[in-house]
Amino acid sequence: MPKVPDFLENINVKKFVLVHGEGFGAWCWYKTIALLEEAGLFPIAIDLTGSGIDLADTSSVTTLAEYSKPLISYLENLPEDEQVFLVGHSSGGACVSYALEHFPKKISKAIFLCATMVSDGQRPFDVFAEELGSAERFMQESQFLIYGNGKDKPPTAFMFEKQQMKGLYFNQSPTKDVALAMVSMRPIPLGPIMEKLSLSPEKYGTGRRFFIQTLDDRALSPDVQEKLVRDNPPERVFKIKGSDHCPFFSKPQSLHKMLLEIAQIP
């Protein structure tokens, strides 16, 4: 039997549930999954509805509840007394907040990775507004919109153009990972990121939240990330130097170390 690493003694919760952000899927966590498994932990990466290899049409996903359903089902089916660490990347942060509101007891710690850690009544899109302009303008003018229900109906999803995505998301990521992303990314449903979250002090407010900032991030600038933690302070903030918006590609070891460190906080 391999010897159990010492730090595992300090980690009571062994499951890490990994929630991808907009356009991504469970596949984006492949390095993190391997590192956590090698450390003797149990990562579970989830495809949200209409993401990754989930078969739903992205344009049919209109609410955050629908989008988060695979995550919520997973949490619902956990044994009564079992807890998990929940990690949300980018707009996946909204799904983590939503889960904290519905299952505060199941979540030992919530980790927001350069994520939309929204306040009560805020939309995930609002976090990106500095980069993308106001939601109203974006919905009218953006050339990236997809009209799944016809041009005469409101847009249902959007998808960045490849070159733009490379600049926004992958400015420090290895070319192999960028290539993987380019063939794997799917459109982003608009409904869930345009929805205002209702977060209560009694439920969401009791959760233990941690934020990991990425300091070379062009999709969610360090200033915006700083504002998020100022407006809605988590228990602790960690920073990954030299990471773009996708630390699971650009800084997998640093990210892994931080996840283990957060896991061990009593």
256 is a catalytic site residue: no
Distances (CA, A) of 247 to 4, 26, 123, 187, 236: 27, 15, 24, 21, 18
Which of 51, 217, 243, 250 does the annotation list as catalytic?
Answer: 217
- Compute the distance between CA of residue 250 and CA of residue 174 in angstroms, rounded to an integer: 7
- Rounded to whole angstroms, the Cα distance separating 189 from 69 reads 14
DSSP state of 42: E
| Count of all residues that appear for the chain in the document | 266
Residue among 20, 89, 245, 256 flagged as catalytic: 245
- Specify whether 217 is catalytic: yes
Which of 51, 68, 90, 250 is labelled catalytic?
90
For the beta carbon of residue 14, count every other beta carbon within 10 angstroms.
Answer: 17
* Residue among 122, 104, 76, 97 nearest 203 (CA): 104
Active site residue 231: no
What pairs with residue 107 in β-bridges?
84
Catalytic site positions = 90, 217, 245
